[in-house]
């Protein structure tokens, strides 16, 4: 009897010891995630090198090979992975020419439009695989006309020209890149009467800007491999979703040479270049440009790589990490610094799994294709899986460019602000080991703020602006001199962007910690008080803008924001109550308590969906989010209450009773979705 009891006790003790060794509380794994034992800058450097050995434009064999590398890396780290393929319309350059004619005795200049291979360039042997410079979906055609300088080609720049009495109708305009999306530069030029567009990177701006394009129409259904409904080229052109005049990107040197051929009025000071640049004049002429471009349009297969770590307790709730893989050329910065960081996160998660970690919620890795052509891969996937994603996605965490230089930048829907700040306080600054990323962020910027995801520059667009998913985007560095050129290669990154790959490791640490907290914390770390505060600021700005419009009432907007704020306070109190009641961690909670937490989490997750409206924005119905969407004239820019902003712009032009009534209608629409979000947070029927 004694031996039997002793044997049972030993058996129980052994079982408990085994369980203790195989299971650790979630914070243990979160702390382990950033430890030196799991991080590996050599591995992340190797991934970037492999991904950037060849140019890998969407639809090419080289990009398919890069997809295979991503797929095999995810699979090797115990992440179930597959390809999601789509047959989509892509364009490539077939022929291009550019000729400048100046008054005699100056001879005409025919530009070679080539990116030069520099001495000892280690990628010289594959330089011929780089496609000639072009704009995706640019219109084919030959145009001839005097050249006019239009600064950044913004709406306000054309307004300045108009006020000066300068007409660019029939001209080919020269615009410097850096302030707005290149597609909008072309569209604005067309609306101003120009017949062609040249976009150059001014030395003063270093090219600037970010990735992405909106030129391909967002049709609203996936281009599946088995066949799908397709729009004709004529239908796409009539819809205004592609440019209607020819355009071409050119180098800063070629742009400067063309600038020297322009006479007329001297441009104002803020239109001028750096100290070594010539005096910028507006024209048009006397220089005359002949621009010819011919595109080839094809249906090509693109490949998203999808990897899944299934959650243990809540497998039907998704945390998605996304980055695109396709590049205009080698893409060491844009986008493969992000891809290498994604693979670093995957490898660390693989190591955590070996140590016993399993996420509470499902984590999904998405490596997108054809982002540079207009966010195609992510948009196709979201449209194909829309109903399931709308009901199950907790958050989407995007990284496009992970590293372009020093300095941390973050963007998010507001309920995630506090989580980002909490995470960057836990990650060591890659350029100063004595402080955190948060410390360096607040010291470097006078009033550090997390930006908003209203622009259309990367793959968060379909998640935020189409189906209403809480999302983030982040990077180290911003504008960099080799943007979208063939010099964006591993050599530049290794010498200038991140020689020790510490910034890549920091990006992976922040990205992964965000995912871990969203995947593992029992109560989702959302705070809608931040959202209410952000909306209040936007409403006050709108009030200032409309101060002279006595017939417009913002009372419904302010009342709806007040409701949201009260709902946010109430659910925060509810979360505090639940945490107080369960402050001692138990492995198993009773069923009622689990259901209670799940219900609160559903409210936190779905409140963002309530900011969307099925009818979308006026004339832009694909964009469903009434709080955040791109500016109508700058796809990279962001406007709070975009429908209201569009209506105000129209009313200022027409100044009719109906146009101002439309402004009031859009204010009511925004007020209604904010009220709906408040009701979701309350979780009670009216």
Known catalytic residues are 371
Burial class (CB in 10 A: 0-12, 13-18, 19+), 538: buried
**With contact defined as beta carbons under 8 Å apart, do 453 and 628 qualify?**
yes
Q: How far apart are CA 505 and CA 510, in angstroms?
A: 9
Given the structure tokens 């998605």, which residue do they identify? Answer: 320
For 232, residues 6+ apart whose C-beta sits below 8 A from its C-beta are none
Q: What are phi and psi of 91, to 5 degrees?
A: -125, 150
Asked if the peptide bond before residue 553 counts as cis, ω within 30 degrees of 0, the response is no
The H or E element that residue 126 is part of is none
Q: How far apart are CA 279 and CA 272, in angstroms?
A: 7
Q: How far apart are CA 646 and CA 659, in angstroms?
A: 11
Asked if the peptide bond before residue 286 counts as cis, ω within 30 degrees of 0, the response is yes
Given the structure tokens 């560095």, which residue do they identify? Answer: 477
**With contact defined as beta carbons under 8 Å apart, do 176 and 199 qualify?**
yes
Q: How far apart are CA 564 and CA 570, in angstroms?
A: 10
Q: Which 8-state DSSP code applies to residue 24? A: -
How many other β-carbons are positioned within 10 Å of the β-carbon of residue 229? 7
How many other β-carbons are positioned within 10 Å of the β-carbon of residue 214? 24
**With contact defined as beta carbons under 8 Å apart, do 67 and 369 qualify?**
yes
Q: How far apart are CA 199 and CA 182, in angstroms?
A: 8
Q: How far apart are CA 515 and CA 321, in angstroms?
A: 8
* Separation of first and last alpha carbons in the chain: 66
DSSP-derived 3-state class of residue 456: coil
How far is C-alpha 155 from the geometric centre of its chain's CA atoms? 23
Helices and strands: H and E segment counts in the chain:
21, 14
Q: Give the residue from 153, 231, 229 showing the smallest Cα distance to 188.
A: 153
The H or E element that residue 472 is part of is strand 471-476
How many other β-carbons are positioned within 10 Å of the β-carbon of residue 341? 31
Alpha carbon separation from 465 to 379, 424, 460 (Å, rounded): 11, 26, 8
Q: How far apart are CA 21 and CA 35, in angstroms?
A: 19
SS3 content of the chain, % helix, strand, coil (to 5): 40, 20, 40
Tokens of 554: 């913002």
Asked if the peptide bond before residue 20 counts as cis, ω within 30 degrees of 0, the response is no
Q: Which 8-state DSSP code applies to residue 526? A: -
Strand partners, 292: 97, 142
Q: Give the residue from 506, 341, 484 showing the smallest Cα distance to 408.
A: 506
Q: Give the residue from 323, 529, 514 showing the smallest Cα distance to 421.
A: 514
Tokens of 417: 């602000």
């Amino acid at each position: 009897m004694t031996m039997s009891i002793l044997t049972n006790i030993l058996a129980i003790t052994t079982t408990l010891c085994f369980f203790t060794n195989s299971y650790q509380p979630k914070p243990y794994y979160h702390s382990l995630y950033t430890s030196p034992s799991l991080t590996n800058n050599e591995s992340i450097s190797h991934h970037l090198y492999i991904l950037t050995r060849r140019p890998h434009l969407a639809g090419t064999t080289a990009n398919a090979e890069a997809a295979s590398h991503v797929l095999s890396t995810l699979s090797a780290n115990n992440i179930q992975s597959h390809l999601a393929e789509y047959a989509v319309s892509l364009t490539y350059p077939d022929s291009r020419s550019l000729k400048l004619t100046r008054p005699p005795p100056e001879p005409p200049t025919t530009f070679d439009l080539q990116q030069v291979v520099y001495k000892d360039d280690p990628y010289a042997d594959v330089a011929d695989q780089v496609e000639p410079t072009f704009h995706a979906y640019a219109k084919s055609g030959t145009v001839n006309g005097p050249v006019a300088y239009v600064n950044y080609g913004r709406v306000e720049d054309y307004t300045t020209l108009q006020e000066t009495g300068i007409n660019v109708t029939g001209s080919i305009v020269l615009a410097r890149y850096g302030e707005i999306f290149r597609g909008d530069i072309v569209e604005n030029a067309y609306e101003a009467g120009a017949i062609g567009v040249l976009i150059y990177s001014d030395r003063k701006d270093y090219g600037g800007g970010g990735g992405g394009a909106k030129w391909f129409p967002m049709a609203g259904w996936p281009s599946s491999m088995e066949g799908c409904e397709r729009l004709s080229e004529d239908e796409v052109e009539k819809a205004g979703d592609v440019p209607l005049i020819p355009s071409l990107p050119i180098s800063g040197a070629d742009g400067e040479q063309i600038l020297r051929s322009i006479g007329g009025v001297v441009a104002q000071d803020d239109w001028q270049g750096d100290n070594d640049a010539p005096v910028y004049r507006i024209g048009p002429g006397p220089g005359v440009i002949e621009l010819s471009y011919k595109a080839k349009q094809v249906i090509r297969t693109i490949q998203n790589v999808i990897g899944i770590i299934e959650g243990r307790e809540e497998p039907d709730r998704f945390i998605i990490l996304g980055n695109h893989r396709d590049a205009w050329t080698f893409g060491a910065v844009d986008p493969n610094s992000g891809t290498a960081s994604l693979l670093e996160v995957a490898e660390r998660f693989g190591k955590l799994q070996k140590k016993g970690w399993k996420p509470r919620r499902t984590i999904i890795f998405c490596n997108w294709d054809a982002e540079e052509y207009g966010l195609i891969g992510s948009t196709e996937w979201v449209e194909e899986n829309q109903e399931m994603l709308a009901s199950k996605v907790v958050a989407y965490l995007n990284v496009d460019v992970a590293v372009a230089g020093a300095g941390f930048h973050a963007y998010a829907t507001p309920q995630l602000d506090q989580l980002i700040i909490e995470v960057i306080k836990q990650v060591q600054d890659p350029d100063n080991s004595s402080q955190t990323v948060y410390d360096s962020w607040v010291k470097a910027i006078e009033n550090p703020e997390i930006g908003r995801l209203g622009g259309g520059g990367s793959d968060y667009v379909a998640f935020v602006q189409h189906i209403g998913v809480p999302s983030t985007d982040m990077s180290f560095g911003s504008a960099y001199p080799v943007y979208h050129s063939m010099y964006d290669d591993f050599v530049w990154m290794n010498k200038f962007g991140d020689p020790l790959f510490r910034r890549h490791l920091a990006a992976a640490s922040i990205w992964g910690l965000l995912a871990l907290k969203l995947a593992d914390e029992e109560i989702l770390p959302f705070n809608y008080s931040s959202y209410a505060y952000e909306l209040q600021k936007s409403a006050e700005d709108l009030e200032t803008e409309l101060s002279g419009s006595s017939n417009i009432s913002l009372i419904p907007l302010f009342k709806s924001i007040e409701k949201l704020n009260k709902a946010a306070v109430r659910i925060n109190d509810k979360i505090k109550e639940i945490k107080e009641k369960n402050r001692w961690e138990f492995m198993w909670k009773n069923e009622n308590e689990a259901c209670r937490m799940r219900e609160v989490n559903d409210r936190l997750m779905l409140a963002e969906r309530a900011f969307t409206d099925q009818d979308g924005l006026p004339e832009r119905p694909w964009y469903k989010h009434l709080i955040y969407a791109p500016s109508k004239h700058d796809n990279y820019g962001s406007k709070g209450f975009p429908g209201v902003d569009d209506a105000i712009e129209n009313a200022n032009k027409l100044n009719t009773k109906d146009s101002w009534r439309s402004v009031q209608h859009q204010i009511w629409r925004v007020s209604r979705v904010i009220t709906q979000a408040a009701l979701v947070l309350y979780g009670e029927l009216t």
